[in-house]
């Protein structure tokens, strides 16, 4: 199954994990997930199932009326009788530092909000089905989410990262420099594609070689939710891909895998490169330029979005290119960040045309 569609493989693996967790949940959860199946992605269902597993584990260990029960034996009647808004608020406090299946975890406000959303969805579903007398989860307020500063690279750092990837010596270790020289063409193409298009790391990893059209400076990506989109790139990106593609072909021909691997970006094991590997290489190169910034592929996406907004001043164009379904998401991240635009705006209104 070497040429199995990346997203089909991704979804299949997530479904397997989802079904594994579902088997450990109370039986009524089968009805709930069947009910929401047509309007939720497999990743959403997996996240909901994981959150509910933690919630039910909390109930059987911490809440009177559930202690001594097995999670699979919990019923809707138990939820009606023993779960109040207070227990759910207790759960949110518990999430600050907790243990699940023998491992310690901690959750911040964002993770707590997601788990509360999962609980709310479950209670709302069964309340609307008249299987719960009251939707107590709706009485619990969402944790207040504080905006975090958006990390991105400035223009000098972008140039510095590209120079770092291109350099033969950059890490002070002959072994590491030799290793990175072997992957230089690939890594330049990856970094350039990120900075030149703003795609997500999952989208980059999922690109197949046949998805690239160098003549028309275009490529296909599968967006969040499974929609396929055609995007465009610059001559700089094409040049980087034209240098990388012979490296890729040579490796696969030597390994007699040219017909078996359709991934655009491959590892040194001649397999589709993983999300984790891409995250590591971005962190490695950007750390040389600015070790104080923790830069992920998503930060390169923010860098591209910021640059595009500065050049166009068109938030709707940025939303379309980045694949945001809601332009408010784009506004939140890009429209309010540009201090130079604000400074420019301050010079546009002239109060006096005649100066004394």
For strand 228-232 and strand 212-213, is the pairing parallel, antiparallel, or unpaired? unpaired
Name the one residue in this structure whose structure tokens are 């939303």. 319
Residue 242: how many other CB atoms lie within 10 Å: 11
Kindly tell me if the per-residue pLDDT of 25 is higher than 90.
Answer: yes
Three state DSSP letters for the chain: CCCCCHHHHHHHHHHHHHHHHHCCCCCHHHHHHHHCHHHCCHHHHHHHHHHHHHHHHHHHHHCCCCCCCCHHHCCHHHHHHHCCHHHHHHHHHHCCCEEECCEEECCCHHHHHHHHHHHHHHHHHHHHCCCCCCCHHHHCCCCCCCCCCCCCCCHHHHHHHHHHHHCCCCCCCHHHHHHHHHCHHHHHHHHHHHHHHCCCHHHHHCCEHHHEECCCCEEEEECCCCCEEEEECCHHHHHHHHHHHHHHHHHHHHCCCCCCCCECCECCCCCECCHHHHHHHHHHHHHHHCCCCCCCHHHHHHHHHHHHHHHHCCHHHHHHHHCCCCHHHHHHHHHCCCHHHHHHHCCCCCCCCCCC
Mean pLDDT of 35-48: 94
Mean pLDDT of 282-305: 88
Q: What is the pLDDT of residues 117-161, one digit of tens each?
A: 999 999 999 999 999 999 999 999 998 877 677 778 888 999 999
pLDDT at 340: 56
| Whole-number percent of the chain with pLDDT over 90 | 63
pLDDT at 4: 59
pLDDT at 302: 86
d(CA 71, CA 56): 6
Contact 32, 126 (CB under 8 A): yes
Mean pLDDT of 256-280: 93
Mean per-residue pLDDT over the chain, rounded: 89
Kindly tell me if the per-residue pLDDT of 350 is higher than 90.
Answer: no
Query: What sign does the CA torsion over 102, 108, 111, 117 have?
Result: positive
Kindly tell me if the per-residue pLDDT of 317 is higher than 90.
Answer: no
pLDDT at 1: 47
Among candidate residues 81, 21, 30, the one with its CA nearest the CA of residue 55: 21
pLDDT at 282: 93
Confidence of residue 345 (pLDDT cuts 50, 70, 90): low
For 115-119, 170-174, 282-286, which range has the lowest pLDDT when averaged over its residues? 170-174
pTM: 0.77
Contacts of 157 (CB under 8 A, 6+ apart): 286, 289, 290, 293
Confidence of residue 354 (pLDDT cuts 50, 70, 90): low
Kindly tell me if the per-residue pLDDT of 324 is higher than 90.
Answer: no
Contacts of 112 (CB under 8 A, 6+ apart): 92, 95, 143
Structural domains in the chain, CATH included, are 14-139 (1.10.150.130), 155-336 (1.10.443.10)
Kindly tell me if the per-residue pLDDT of 331 is higher than 90.
Answer: no
d(CA 151, CA 14): 30
Q: What is the pLDDT of residues 189-243, one digit of tens each?
A: 999 999 999 999 999 999 999 999 999 999 999 887 778 899 999 999 999 999 9
pLDDT at 116: 97
d(CA 197, CA 301): 8
317: left (phi over 0), alpha (psi -120 to 50) or beta: alpha
């Amino acid at each position: 199954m070497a040429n199995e569609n990346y997203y089909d493989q991704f979804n299949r693996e997530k479904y397997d994990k989802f079904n594994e967790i579902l088997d450990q949940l109370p039986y009524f959860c089968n009805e709930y997930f069947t009910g929401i199946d047509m309007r939720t992605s497999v990743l959403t269902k997996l996240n909901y199932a994981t959150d509910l597993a933690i919630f039910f584990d909390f109930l059987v260990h911490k809440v009177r009326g559930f202690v001594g029960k097995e999670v699979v034996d919990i019923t809707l009647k138990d939820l009606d009788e023993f779960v109040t808004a207070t227990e759910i608020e207790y759960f949110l406090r518990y999430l600050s530092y907790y243990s699940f299946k023998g491992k310690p975890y901690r959750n911040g406000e964002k993770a707590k909000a997601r788990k509360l959303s999962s609980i709310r969805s479950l209670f709302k579903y069964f309340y609307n089905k008249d299987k719960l007398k009251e939707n107590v989860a709706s009485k619990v307020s969402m944790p207040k989410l504080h905006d975090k500063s958006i990390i991105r690279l400035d223009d000098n750092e972008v140039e510095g990262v590209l120079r770092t990837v291109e350099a033969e010596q950059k890490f002070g270790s002959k072994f590491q420099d030799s290793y990175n020289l072997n992957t230089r063409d690939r890594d330049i193409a990856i970094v350039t594609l990120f900075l030149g298009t703003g795609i997500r790391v999952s989208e980059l990893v999922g690109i197949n070689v046949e998805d690239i059209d160098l003549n028309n400076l275009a490529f296909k990506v599968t967006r969040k939710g499974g929609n396929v989109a055609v995007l465009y790139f610059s001559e700089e990106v094409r040049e980087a891909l034209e240098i990388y593609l012979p490296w890729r072909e040579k490796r696969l021909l030597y390994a007699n895998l040219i017909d078996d691997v359709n991934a655009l970006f491959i590892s040194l094991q001649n397999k589709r490169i993983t999300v984790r590997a891409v995250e590591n290489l971005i962190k490695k190169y950007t750390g040389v330029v600015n070790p104080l910034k923790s830069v992920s592929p998503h930060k390169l996406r923010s860098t591209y979005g910021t640059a595009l907004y500065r050049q166009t001043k068109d938030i709707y164009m940025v939303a379309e290119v980045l694949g945001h379904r809601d332009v408010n998401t784009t506004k939140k991240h890009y429209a309010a960040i540009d201090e130079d635009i604000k400074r420019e705006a301050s010079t546009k209104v002239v109060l006096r045309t005649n100066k004394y």
